[in-house]
Amino acid sequence: MLEKMDAFFEKRLDGYDEHMRTNVDDEGQFYAFTAAQLPKAAGAKILDLGCGTGLELEEYFPLNPTAEITGIDLCRPMLEALEKKFPGKKLRLICASYFDEPIEKEYFDAAVSVESLHHFTKQQKIPLYKKLCNGLKKGGYFILTDYFADHQEREDYFQRELIRLKKEQGIEDNAFYHYDTPLTVANETDALLQGGFSGVEILNQWGSTYTLKAIK
Ligand SMILES: C[S@@+](CC[C@H](N)C(=O)[O-])C[C@H]1O[C@@H](n2cnc3c(N)ncnc32)[C@H](O)[C@@H]1O
């Protein structure tokens, strides 16, 4: 059965960090790698899309203890768990969808998103990436670590399956349901370029997980 996105993560909060560290991020590689790509300058302003319990921030704060983090996430209990981990840090946590939440113009030095955006289509992402690109300062960039479909056929299959499951379960609303619909790296890159980023590079890869850097 499909579950609403926030309810899905709330139900799995106990054991979430352990699951991500051991089953998803084999040997803790991509969180550390992702964090190491973010700015080290004191007070750097960072936007984290789908920050969850802040696993990427656990790696980032030791590298930049004075960073100012704005984290957007749909799931309030995930944000509460994040807040408890980092007393005294500069955190602005927003419980909302990043598709709806306005982003200040040219405010952020960098943005990051880990394992969150593989739930959405290219059409949904283009306007989000426009807003995100506008929110970055000149020279700013976006680090995206996520998992991707290896072929167009796989991407199409997941999108069709989501539509089929929603129909089968009589779901007619436009709420977000938890179902993975990863894009290919080529389509993600195209969405970022259509969103206004000037270039996209692949920084690293672990199986189907990649880290992409999109430069304003
Ligand atoms: C797999 S978790 C990743 C969390 C964290 N970045 C990490 O790697 O541990 C995905 C997160 O994205 C959030 N999320 C999914 N869709 C969202 C949306 N449209 N707006 C804001 N947050 C969203 C979920 O609530 C969840 O906390």
Q: Rounded to whole angstroms, how far apart are CA atoms 139 and 100? A: 25
pLDDT number for residue 24 = 86
pTM beyond cutoff 0.75: yes
The pair of structure tokens assigned to 50 is 């789908």
Identify which of 55, 60, 116, 180 to mutate to test ligand 1's pocket (most ligand atoms within 8 A of the CB).
116
What is the CA(118)–ligand 1 centre distance, in A?
A: 10
pLDDT number for residue 28 = 76
pLDDT number for residue 113 = 98
* pLDDT tens-digit readout, 161-207: 999 999 999 998 889 999 999 999 999 999 999 999 999 999 999 99
What is the CA(181)–ligand 1 centre distance, in A?
A: 14
In Å, how far are 14, 41, 167 from 112, measured between CA atoms?
24, 16, 33
pLDDT number for residue 22 = 86
Domains belonging to the chain, first-starting first, are: 5-215 (3.40.50.150)
Q: Rounded to whole angstroms, how far apart are CA atoms 171 and 163? A: 9
What is the CA(98)–ligand 1 centre distance, in A?
A: 10
Indicate the DSSP class of residue 170: T
Evaluate if residue 53 carries a pLDDT over 80. yes
pLDDT number for residue 25 = 78
pLDDT number for residue 125 = 98
Q: What percent of the chain has pLDDT over 90?
A: 94
* pLDDT tens-digit readout, 98-155: 999 999 999 999 999 999 999 999 999 999 999 999 999 999 999 999 999 999 999 9
* pLDDT tens-digit readout, 18-37: 999 888 877 679 999 999 99
Identify which of 74, 132, 142 to mutate to test ligand 1's pocket (most ligand atoms within 8 A of the CB).
74
pLDDT number for residue 27 = 67
pLDDT (average), residues 46-61: 98
Sheet holding 108-114, edge to edge: 90-95, 68-73, 45-49, 108-114, 136-147, 209-215, 199-206
Phi, psi of 127 (to 5 degrees): -65, -35
pLDDT (average), residues 60-81: 98
Using the CB atoms, write b or e for 193-208: b if 16+ within 10 Å.
Answer: eebbbeebeeeeeeee
Burial status of residue 74 (CB atoms within 10 A of its CB: 0-12, 13-18, 19 or more): buried
Helix (H) or strand (E) holding 210, with range, is: strand 209-215
Evaluate if residue 43 carries a pLDDT over 80. yes
pLDDT number for residue 61 = 98
Evaluate if residue 88 carries a pLDDT over 90. yes
Question: What is the SS3 assignment for 92?
Answer: strand
Residue carrying structure tokens 């960073």: 67
Pocket around ligand 1: residues whose beta carbon is below 6 Å from it? Answer: 5-6, 9, 20, 50-53, 55-56, 72-75, 78, 97-99, 114-116, 119, 176
Hey, which bits of 96-164 come out as E strands? Answer: 108-114, 136-147
Evaluate if residue 71 carries a pLDDT over 90. yes
